[in-house]
Each structure stands twice: as C-alpha cells, then as structure tokens.
Amino acid sequence: MKLLIANRGEIAIRIMRTCRELGIPTVAVYSEADRNSLHTRYADEAISIGPTKASESYLNIPAVLNAAKRIQATAIHPGYGFLSENPAFGRAVEDAGMIFIGPRPDSMAILGDKLSARKAARKAGLQVLPGADQPLAETTNLAQLGNNVSYPVLVKAAAGGGGKGIRLARTEGELGEVIELAREEALAAFGDGTIYLEPLVQKARHIEVQILGDGNGQILTFGERECSIQRRHQKLIEEAPASELTQEERESITAAASRLGSTLKYRSLGTVEFLMDENHQFYFIEVNPRIQVEHPVTEMITGVDLINEQILLAVTGKLSLTQSDIQYQGAAIEARILAEDPEQDFLPTTGEISYLKEPGGPGIRVDSTLYQGMTITTDYDSLLSKVIAWGSDRKSAIQRLKRALKEYQIGGLKTDLTLLSQILESHPYQIGKINTTFLDDFYPTDDQPEESLTRDAAIAAALHIHRKRNSRSQIDSNEVNLWRQRAWREQIKVSD
Amino acid sequence: MSNYIVSVGERKYNVSIEKDFLLVNGDRYILDMESLNGNGLHIIRHDTRNVEAYLQSNQNGAYEVQIDGNHLCAQVDLGFHKPSKAINQSTGQLVSPMPGLIVDVLVNEGDQVNIGDTLLVQEAMKMQMKIRTPSAGTIKKINTQAGNQVEKGVLLISLEPEERSNQ
C-alpha cells in the first residue's frame, strides 16, 4: 500500500503521522508555494502538482490523479477542504482503481448539497430547521420574498461548508445585497451559486457528533463536540464533551446522528452537525463527509486515533472497534491559531515567521504547520496550527490550554493568540455560557498586563533602540563602553 | 546618559540609561539584557528574575514585545516627530484593508460618490469584502484594477473630498 495525501498544511501531516505508525509509505502533493512546506518534507515521497493557485493544484483533479498514477499510489486521503467533499474526485479515484479514503461518492453528492442533505435527514426522522429550505431561484421577486421572511435570516450557499458561504441579513433592506454577495461568493468558492435562506436561531449552540460507518449500515459514534465559539461562522475553539448537555440529551443527539448515518449506509468518518436552541432543541444542519479540523478533541477524550480507524476501514472494509470499545475520559479543548487579526475584523495577516516556540508538556497536543522562516501568504486557509489540551475535567482542560497558549510564541506575524487566551479567561466561557454569537458580545476585560511585564517591555525596547542607535553612530563614550561590557554581549557575539 | 520615553499600553515609562544602571521612572535598576539568537529573542536578567522577551521593531520606535505570553506594543518616543504625511484628516486616500485580490472596481475616475458607496470588491481566503468610501467626493485617481493582487496598505483610490461649504 502507498497512500497519497491530496492536501497540505497541518491535516496532511496529521494523516502522515498515523501512516508512519502503521508503516504505510506516504506521498505528499505540493503546489509551487509549498515546495518547502512541512508536509512536503514529512512525507516519504513528494510530487509537484502545479502552481500556487489552488484551482490549478490542490483542486485540480487530473493533476492529483496523474501524480498518484506516476508514483503508483494505491490509496488517496483527501483531508478536509479542497477536494475532500467533491464526489467527482472520489469517483475518479475509485475508477482509477485506487482506494478513496472517504465516503462513497453517491453519499457525498447527497450530503454536499445542503438541501438534499436536509431531505435525507428529515427522512431519517431528524428535526430540521423550519422555514425556507428551498433553493432561491435567480428570478425570485425580492419584494415578495422579503415580506415572507423573518429577520435576521442567514443566506447560505447550498454547496457551502466549513463556515464558508454564509451571510447574515439583519433587515429586509439588506436582503437584496446580501443575496447578491452570497451568490457571487458561492460561485467563486464552490462553482455553484445556489443559495437558500435559513432562519437564524438566536443564542444557538453548535453541537456535532462524530461518526464512523462501515458502508453497510453499521455506525460507530464517538460522542459529541461543541464548536460554539466562532468568528464569521467559522470555528475558533472547540471542545468535547459539550459542556451543558444532560446524559439524556447526549444520548438522543448521538442516536439521531447514528440513525442518519445508518439510513445513508454511510461509509468512513463523518460529522453530523446540529444547532441547539435555548430550550435544548436540536436541529440538523449538515453532515461533513470527511475528517474535521476539530477531530483531535474527540481523540483526546476517547484515546482513539480516528485516522487510524478510517484507514483500517478503507483497507479491510470492516470496523476494528465495537461501540463498547469507545469510552470517554475527561475533557478536551482545541484552539485554532490563525493568521488573522482579531482587532481588524479577522482580516488575514501575512509575514515571515521570524521566531517560533511551540508549547508542550502534560496533556498538550500541537498539530502545526509552522516553521521558523516560513512565509505566510493569503494563498490558502489562515489556519496555522491547533493546540489541544486534555484535562480530567473541563476546568483543568481550560487551565492547561491557557498555560499552553502562553507558551506559544510566534514572531513576525499577528495571530489570534491573545484573543484565544482572553476567551479562555472570560467568565462566560469558563462557566460554559457560550453560543455562536459569543464573539459578537465579547469585550475582553481591559485587564492591563502586570506592571512588571509592561515595565520589562519598556526597558527592553529602550535598551534595544539605544544599542541600535549607538552602534550605528559609533559614539565612543565611556557610558556606551560600560554598557557594552555589562550588557551588550550580543554585540560581542555577533562580531565574533 | 540617554533618556527614552516608552509607552506600553496606557502606561508610560521614562527610561534613563546611565553608566551602569537604569532609571525607570526614577527607580534604580541594575539589569542585563542579552540577545539569544541575534534575531529578536532576548533574556532580561534582573536579580533572580529571568524574563524571556521577543522583540520585533516595527517602524519609528515601535516594538512588538512578547513577554510571558503577552503581546505588548512598546512605543519609544525618540524626541522628534516624523511629519505625518499620508493621513489626510478627511481620508482622501483609500488603502487596501487586507492583502488580497481586487475582484471588481465599481467606479471610474471623475465619478461622484457618497459616504458608504462601494468603490471596490476585494477577495481574500474566499471572503469577499466590499470596500466603501468613508467620505463623499469625486474619484480623483484609481491606482488599481480588477485582477490585481495587492498587499495590505496599498493606495487603491484617491478621492477629492467634497467641500463642506458646498452643503
């Protein structure tokens, strides 16, 4: 067996790590921009698939397939994003005689269209959000439509996923423009401009269930995750288990997910996503037919390597675990480190990683794509790294994650690290009072850092600039010489 | 002796660098700062307290300092002020708020625009953002076109702000 990973970044490395443990040779594919990336270096073999632009490399089915044939790969793992939810890709891989490590292409097609996914869910007896669940025709009369909608309303791309292609219209006046923008965005991102409207559930929590199906109707469930802390409908902090569910609710949501998977005869890993309203009513939103970014929190509390199970299933056609093998211990939380600036509405940031120190120690897992000297561009997703903390309960997981985030040092690029710490330190987060609009109402307590730290920073800055100026102007005063002897060891080292 | 006034957040420090000690807001400190990698990583030793600080200079005396998981901005007042050039108080210049692709330019030179009108659409990481004008006026010059990949802070459009006396 030889496994090609049709992806990049942290998830490509994550998959290769399990392959190494299993003794499976790995193949990385890389675009021009990723020649020197970590995933290219980690793999046993690496093969170029085209220019930087994703549509010409990571999204280019012929390029990926040609690479797989040339290198004689026997299986392909798509990771998340890129081609992972594209049924045509799954089909092409299987037609070429390789194993596709993912769902059957026909279930991907059903689930990829959010509207047909809802139909399937309703058929399986799951509760679906009421209201508009029909595609919005290009010719829809806005004036007529506007009256029949209750605001705020979400405008979503039928082909969307991963939080992309969702826009909010607060008033009737905004609806026309939002629809237009959502359609353009959907067309640009997914090549399909179909959109639909969905009532916004106020104070909703995002709860999802991890499943693994054998393709014949047997489904394993790995408990739920809560991903309510989001920015721009994209997840930022995720945890398992969900903090406020009763055992009964937990069992009921898990059973619903299992039922849907079973009805679809779902194969491989998948995540069934729900919204939970203030009365703890669950509504099905979608199925992500692939490994998810936040899968490590489930791995931390179950001790199961999900990628390992996924690969074994793809190879043998059988589940290697039974439901009773899956036991839960403690709590886990994941924080996403992003090349985004929270102070500027999460706009992307770019730069060269000039310094890097990653956290470690008990209960900490870091899935990262960073290295010192790496250049961060806007060519791909802004996810740089994930820090996952396990603790015996939620409180100790929070403490650990806080500790780890303080250890994380990234120089040369603005990230969301400070915001992540502030969220973990906030009272609402600590008591589990969270929902998907958490960040809209989040104003970090204006805690000034300890005086000793700001003083150190001031001293460091003054000394640094002082030395720089004096070394430049070559003032040979007694004062400067003394400082050189006392503290300017850096100068001596540099000139050695 | 050299004097520096350093602002960190809302706190101000008057740092005097003397022969073999420092005065910080009048208090005497004997400490040592050493570079660890020649690339911004330093250790500050002050009695038994060892602090790791990562320093990055931005421009004109501004430093980003990472200490103990805190990201601080230290602004050193160098005692002279650079003339503030580009920042017209009425912002006649529209710069890109993020790096990304210019998808569409919706105005032409000479067009009259009102506050909030969309001038450009920019895309990055599959997100499209409408870039609106913060003031009314006439489009003087367009410095970009659809299809351009621009960095953050690049001048995109110059605007002749509307005279207030006209209103």
- What's the CA gap between A285 and A292, in Å, rounded? 16
**Which residues of chain B are modeled with pLDDT < 50?**
80-89, 164-167
Contact A462 B31 (CB under 8 A): no
Contacts of A293 (CB under 8 A, 6+ apart): A11, A80, A235, A238, A336, A383, A386
Reported CATH class of domain A3-101:
alpha beta
Q: How far is B67 from chain A (nearest CA, A)?
A: 7
Give which of A49, A54, A81 is closest to A67, Cα–Cα: A49
Residue span(s) of chain A under CATH 3.30.1490.20 come to: 130-199
| Half-sphere exposure in the Cβ direction for A107 (13 Å, CA) | 24
Residue numbers in A near B123 (CB within 8 A): 188
Q: How far is B65 from chain A (nearest CA, A)?
A: 6
Residue numbers in B near A478 (CB within 8 A): 19
- What's the CA gap between B17 and A462, in Å, rounded? 8
**Are residues A183 and A195 in contact, defined by beta-carbon separation less than 8 angstroms?**
yes
Q: How far is A53 from chain B (nearest CA, A)?
A: 12
Which of B9, B42, B128 is facing A454, going by the closest CB pair?
B9
Q: Which of A459, A465, A495 has the highest number of chain B CBs within 10 A, making it the mutation to test binding with B?
A: A459
Rounded to 5°, the CA angle A437-A81-A315 comes to 125
Judged by a CB distance cut-off of 8 A, whether residue B43 touches chain A is no
Specify the pLDDT at position A472. 62
* Interface subset of B 52-91, CB within 8 angstroms of A: 53-57, 61, 63-72, 74, 76, 78
- Return the SS3 of A16: helix
Read off the tokens for A476: 């040979």
**Are residues A358 and A335 in contact, defined by beta-carbon separation less than 8 angstroms?**
no
- Which residue on chain B is closest to A379 by alpha carbon? B125
Residue type, A161: G
Specify the pLDDT at position A446. 64
Contact A409 B71 (CB under 8 A): no
Residue numbers in A near B19 (CB within 8 A): 478-479, 482-483
* Interface subset of B 90-149, CB within 8 angstroms of A: 97-100, 103, 123-128, 130
- What's the CA gap between A90 and A96, in Å, rounded? 10
Contact B20 A482 (CB under 8 A): yes
Residue numbers in B near A460 (CB within 8 A): 33, 42, 44, 53, 55, 63, 65, 67, 74
Judged by a CB distance cut-off of 8 A, whether residue B23 touches chain A is no
Residue numbers in B near A451 (CB within 8 A): 11
Read off the tokens for B116: 């909030």
- Return the SS3 of A375: strand
Q: Which of B66, B103, B121 has the highest number of chain A CBs within 10 A, making it the mutation to test binding with A?
A: B66
Q: How far is B141 from chain A (nearest CA, A)?
A: 26
Specify the pLDDT at position B126. 64
Residue numbers in A near B71 (CB within 8 A): 417-418
Residue span(s) of chain A under CATH 3.30.470.20 come to: 205-441
- What's the CA gap between B125 and A382, in Å, rounded? 8
Q: Would you put residue A197 in left (φ > 0), alpha (ψ -120 to 50) or beta? A: beta
Contact B128 A181 (CB under 8 A): yes
| Strand-pair partners of B2 | B17
Question: Domains of chain B (ranges plus CATH)?
Answer: 2-77 (3.30.700.30), 93-162 (2.40.50.100)
For A442, phi then psi, to 5°, come to: -95, 115
- Return the SS3 of A438: helix
Q: Which CATH architecture has domain A130-199?
A: 2-Layer Sandwich (3.30)
Specify the pLDDT at position A402. 97
Contact A460 B38 (CB under 8 A): no
**Are residues A427 and B44 in contact, defined by beta-carbon separation less than 8 angstroms?**
no
Which of B13, B57, B68 is facing A455, going by the closest CB pair?
B13
Give 10-residue mean pLDDT values along chain A (496 residues). Answer: 98 98 98 97 98 96 98 98 96 98 96 91 91 71 75 85 79 88 85 86 94 98 97 94 95 98 98 96 95 98 98 97 98 98 93 95 98 95 97 98 96 94 95 94 79 93 89 48 42 35
Contacts of A407 (CB under 8 A, 6+ apart): A357, A358, A359, A360, A361, B69
Specify the pLDDT at position A399. 98
Residue span(s) of chain A under CATH 3.40.50.20 come to: 3-101
Query: What string of DSSP letters covers A195-239?
Result: EEEEEPPTT-EEEEEEEEEESSS-EEEEEEEEEEEEETTEEEEEE
A323-353 burial code (b ≥16 CB/10 A, e <16): eeebeeebbbbbbbbbbbbbeeebbbbbbeb
Residue numbers in B near A421 (CB within 8 A): 69
Which of A406, A457, A462 is facing B72, going by the closest CB pair?
A457
The residue count of chain A comes to 496
- Return the SS3 of A415: coil
Which secondary structure element, helix H or strand E, spans residue A494, and what is its range? helix A489-495
Contact A462 B4 (CB under 8 A): yes
- What's the CA gap between A79 and A13, in Å, rounded? 10
Read off the tokens for B131: 């870039």
Topology of domain A205-441 in CATH is D-amino Acid Aminotransferase; Chain A, domain 1 (3.30.470)
Active site residues of A: 290
Q: Which pLDDT tens digit goes with each residue over A118-138?
A: 999 999 999 998 755 678 877
A43-73 burial code (b ≥16 CB/10 A, e <16): beebbbbbeeebeebbbbeebbbebbeeeeb
User: What single DSSP character describes residue B66?
Assistant: E
Contact B15 A462 (CB under 8 A): yes
Specify the pLDDT at position A479. 42
Q: How far is B80 from chain A (nearest CA, A)?
A: 14
Contact B37 A465 (CB under 8 A): no
Contact A181 B11 (CB under 8 A): no
| Half-sphere exposure in the Cβ direction for A156 (13 Å, CA) | 23
Q: Which pLDDT tens digit goes with each residue over B22-43?
A: 999 999 999 999 999 888 999 9
Specify the pLDDT at position A286. 93
0.85 surpassed by complex ipTM: no
- What's the CA gap between B127 and A164, in Å, rounded? 8
**Are residues A254 and A221 in contact, defined by beta-carbon separation less than 8 angstroms?**
yes
